[in-house]
Chains A and B, each alone.
Chain A
Amino acid sequence: NAGVMQNPRHLVRRRGQEARLRCSPMKGHSHVYWYRQLPEEGLKFMVYLQKENIIDESGMPKERFSAEFPKEGPSILRIQQVVRGDSAAYFCASSPALGATNEKLFFGSGTQLSVL
């Protein structure tokens, strides 16, 4: 959905560098989700954030990965000291409400991270 903006579209990093992926939710949406998709696989949940608050980070690797959604500005998924196994498509999605039974997620175009 064009309303969820992710950048960059493609990101190339060398092993050991840091990767920063940005996501601006749709207008009026206060909840952001990050998913990772490896080739030929489904989307794996990573983290669920509300502004200034991490709701659920059960899918985040314990080391090197962090996420934030500040009061102002986009949500950031940060990967420190990248390794080749981090190469994947990272999708951000947003929704307007927490726990609504008719909650729907709309996805951004994704960031393709390639680690050399």
Chain B
Amino acid sequence: QKEVEQNSGPLSVPEGAIASLNCTYSDRGSQSFFWYRQYSGKSPELIMSIYSNGDKEDGRFTAQLNKASQYVSLLIRDSQPSDSATYLCAVITMEYGNKLVFGAGTILRVKS
């Protein structure tokens, strides 16, 4: 099993809809979780971090964490064409040393 898994997509949603991006991780001891957005040819940009079970909201973004299920998600409300990008889930894993491990990313396409 990969340390951090994401569906590669692409996930296509119409403008104004809610985009739901999912991620699972293998290290049950992980404590820190992040979502990065990466536009084509650009560097990853941190958009959300979450450390405890439940929901964390920031503007149109909501991160959800369920440690029992080893599952973290990102919801984007009122999706805009400018949200079209690759979304990378990342986890600080203790299993292989204290480092940030990334999933392969989910491509999101918001159609106007």
Contact = CB atoms under 8 A, between A and B. Distances in A.
Do A and B share a complex? Answer: yes
Interface of A: 1, 33, 35, 41-45, 48, 55-56, 58, 91, 93, 98-99, 101-110
A99 B29 CA distance: 13
A56 B102 CA distance: 16
A26 to B, nearest CB: 12
Interface string B6-50: 000000000000000000000000011010100000111110010
B97 A56 contact: yes
Contact of B44 (A43, A56, A103): A43
Q: How large is the interface on B (under 10, 10 to 19, 20 to 34, 35 or more residues)?
A: 20 to 34
B32 A42 contact: no
Nearest to A98: B98
B87 to A, nearest CB: 11
A107 B43 contact: yes
Contacts of A44: 102
Interface of B: 31-32, 34, 36, 42-46, 49, 51, 88, 90, 92, 96-105
Given A107-B43, A107-B44, A45 B51 contact: no
* Best-buried of B43, B46, B102 by chain A (most CB within 10 Å): B43
Given A42-B102, A101-B51, A58 B97 contact: yes
Q: Which 10 A-B pairs have the closest CB atoms?
A: A42-B104, A107-B43, A43-B102, A56-B97, A42-B102, A107-B44, A110-B43, A99-B98, A42-B105, A109-B43
B44 A91 contact: yes
Given A91-B44, A103-B32, A42 B97 contact: no
A33 B31 contact: no
Contacts of A45: 99-102
